[in-house]
């Protein structure tokens, strides 16, 4: 069974390693955390009652947000659950899944566990990890995959494809279902909308754990044509989205002002870190998201050194990028502490 390491450092892991307070730059969420409205909503949840398995209220709210009918919305225990539902519903051992990488490891893992053959198209470091849509479209035509996974903007590179480029790939998906993971879309300045392209050959994945800061509650959703949505609900485990997650999602969606403040804070942090890391001789990889790659040589050693200084970075070895760390945006004051820690490490090593 393929292993898929992920970032972030829980309080329990930090305690086991004898670490004190750690600033977690390995996660890429709203730097302001969760809306106060969410915390208030959680106190009203009755844990003795089963959650609404249909997520009716939340689906209606998401439908209003996206402009699609509620029956086109599938809510999951994070967007990761929906990735696994797609693999379970659509992949057989005779099928192929195409993954555009380097990217989030759960696409390939879910496909492999479903028994499918996993084929990768990989962007190169030489051109800034830019995805070439014509080359991906050619790969689709060559291997005829059942599922095509595209993260946009991509994790961990931050590369972003405009609508016309996604349309180039979609046009090649005859008999293929293109899954575009837009978990970090809200952090892209002037992003293109693909909602009107959703249909029999295109599913959009969204996450409320990033821009709304609900990582600990696990909440995501898919926008899918009714026939695809019905298939996903058929294979979905009952009550996978808890009552607390549904309440939190409704409260978070009602506080867009909090999201806007978080996006602004992330932009300020990105500008500051880009400038300061370049000053230290660590230029960052251009990124459209709220994180970026930094080439540090030995990511594992560098990450461990920074962890000892109270800052957790994402070692990108699991993405096949052992020379890079990924840094997510946090409030400016914490970014200053990260820069100071890196400066101390570079001076002492």
Q: Give the domain CATH number at 330.
A: 3.90.1150.10
Q: Are strands 220-223 and 73-76 parallel, antiparallel or unpaired?
A: antiparallel
Residue 93 and residue 194 in one domain:
yes
Mean per-residue pLDDT for 97-114? Answer: 97
CATH number for the domain including 219?
A: 3.40.640.10
Domain end position, chosen among 230, 254, 278: 254
Residue 193 and residue 209 in one domain:
yes
pLDDT at 2: 65
Residue 289 and residue 208 in one domain:
no
Residue 195 and residue 215 in one domain:
yes
pLDDT at 8: 73
DSSP secondary structure letters along 111-126: HHHTT-EEEEEE--GG
Structural domain count of the chain: 2
pLDDT at 1: 66
pLDDT in tens, 281-292: 998 999 999 999
Residue 174 and residue 205 in one domain:
yes
Residue 195 and residue 306 in one domain:
no
Residue 231 and residue 296 in one domain:
no
Residue 85 and residue 214 in one domain:
yes
Mean per-residue pLDDT for 12-17? Answer: 79
Percent of the chain with pLDDT over 70: 99
Query: What rounded mean pLDDT belongs to the chain?
Result: 95
Residue 240 and residue 262 in one domain:
no
Residue 118 and residue 232 in one domain:
yes
Q: Is the pLDDT of residue 59 over 90?
A: yes
Residue 237 and residue 317 in one domain:
no
Domain end position, chosen among 229, 254, 279: 254
pLDDT at 303: 95
Mean per-residue pLDDT for 257-280? Answer: 97
Per-residue tokens: 213:
């800061």
Q: Return d(Cα 258, Cα 38) in angstroms, integer.
A: 11
Residue 4 within a domain: no
pLDDT at 326: 98
Task: Flag the least confident range among 13-17, 26-30, 135-139, 228-232.
Answer: 13-17
Residue 327 within a domain: yes
The model's confidence at residue 242, banded by pLDDT at 50, 70 and 90, is very high
pLDDT in tens, 292-327: 999 999 999 999 999 999 999 999 999 999 999 999
Residue 107 and residue 181 in one domain:
yes
Angle at 211 between CA 330 and CA 226, to 5 degrees: 160
Q: Which domain holds residue 317?
A: 11-34+257-348
Percent of the chain with pLDDT over 90: 92
The SS3 call for residue 308 is helix
Residue 125 within a domain: yes
Domain end position, chosen among 254, 287, 308: 254
Mean per-residue pLDDT for 104-121? Answer: 96
pLDDT in tens, 121-146: 999 998 899 999 999 999 999 999 99
pLDDT in tens, 152-199: 999 999 999 999 999 999 999 999 999 999 999 999 999 999 999 999
Q: Is the pLDDT of residue 7 over 90?
A: no
Q: Return d(Cα 271, Cα 145) in angstroms, integer.
A: 39
Residue 174 within a domain: yes
pLDDT at 18: 77
């Amino acid at each position: 069974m393929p292993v898929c390491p992920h970032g972030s450092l829980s309080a329990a892991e930090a305690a086991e390693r004898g670490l004190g307070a750690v600033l977690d730059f390995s996660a890429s969420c709203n730097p302001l955390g969760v809306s106060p409205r969410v915390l208030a909503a959680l106190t009203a949840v009755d844990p003795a009652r089963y959650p609404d398995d249909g997520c009716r209220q939340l689906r209606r709210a998401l439908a209003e947000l996206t402009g699609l009918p509620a029956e086109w919305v599938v809510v999951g225990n994070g967007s990761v659950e929906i990735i696994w539902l797609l693999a379970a519903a659509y992949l057989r051992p005779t099928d192929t899944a195409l993954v555009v990488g380097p990217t989030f490891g759960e696409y390939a893992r879910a496909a492999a566990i479903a028994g499918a053959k996993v084929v990768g198209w990989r962007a190169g470091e030489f051109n800034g990890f830019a995805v070439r849509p014509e080359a991906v479209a050619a790969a689709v035509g060559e291997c005829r995959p059942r599922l095509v996974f595209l993260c946009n903007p991509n994790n961990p590179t931050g590369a972003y494809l405009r609508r016309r480029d996604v349309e180039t790939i979609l046009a090649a998906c005859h008999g293929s279902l293109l899954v575009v993971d837009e978990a970090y879309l809200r952090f892209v300045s002037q992003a293109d909308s693909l909602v009107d392209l959703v249909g029999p050959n295109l599913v959009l994945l969204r996450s409320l754990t990033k821009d709304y800061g609900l990582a600990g509650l696990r909440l995501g959703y898919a926008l899918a044509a009714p026939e695809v949505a019905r298939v996903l609900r058929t294979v979905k485990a009952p009550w996978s989205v808890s009552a607390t997650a549904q309440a939190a999602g409704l409260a978070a969606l009602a506080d867009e002002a909090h999201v806007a403040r978080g996006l602004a804070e992330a932009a300020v942090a990105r500008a500051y870190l880009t400038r300061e890391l370049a000053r230290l001789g660590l230029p960052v990889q251009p990124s459209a998201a709220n994180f970026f790659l930094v080439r540090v040589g030995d990511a594992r050693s560098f990450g461990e050194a920074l962890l000892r200084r109270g800052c957790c970075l994402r070692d990108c070895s699991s993405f096949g990028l052992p020379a890079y760390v990924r840094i997510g945006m946090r409030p400016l004051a914490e970014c200053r502490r990260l820069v100071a820690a890196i400066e101390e490490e570079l001076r002492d090593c």
